[in-house]
């Protein structure tokens, strides 16, 4: 199991999800992707992405304003 981090702060949706999709191609079962972003729709977009791809959204941490960090298990 490995943990990969992506800082998508300053990117507007759908750019954080596009960057996540690029990293997802190299993720193995059990790996965790931690993503930080400040796009207003980021959490809703991540929830929909996880549901669509059958990935587990482990945590959503509010860090002030729209900035959030999520952890996704593959």
Q: What is the CATH number of the domain that holds 43?
A: 3.30.110.40
Could you list the residue range(s) of the whole structural domain that residue 56 is in?
3-73
Angle between helices 42-53 and 15-24 (to 10 degrees): 30
Q: How far apart are the first and last CA of the chain?
A: 10
What is the per-residue pLDDT for 1? 85
- Identify the pLDDT of residue 32: 98
Active-site residue (options: 6, 11, 13, 27):
13
Q: Does residue 39 have an active-site annotation?
A: no
- Please count the structural domains in the chain: 1
Q: What is the pLDDT of residues 16-65, one digit of tens each?
A: 999 999 999 999 999 999 999 999 999 999 999 999 999 999 999 999 89
Strands (E), the chain: 3-7, 32-37, 56-62, 68-73
């Amino acid at each position: 199991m490995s943990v990969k981090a992506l800082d998508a702060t300053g990117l507007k949706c759908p750019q954080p999800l596009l960057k996540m999709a690029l990293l997802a191609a190299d993720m193995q079962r059990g790996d965790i992707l931690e993503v930080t972003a400040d796009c207003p729709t980021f959490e809703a977009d991540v929830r929909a992405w996880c549901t669509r791809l059958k990935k587990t959204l482990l945590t959503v941490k509010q860090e002030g304003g729209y900035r959030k960090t999520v952890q996704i298990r593959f």
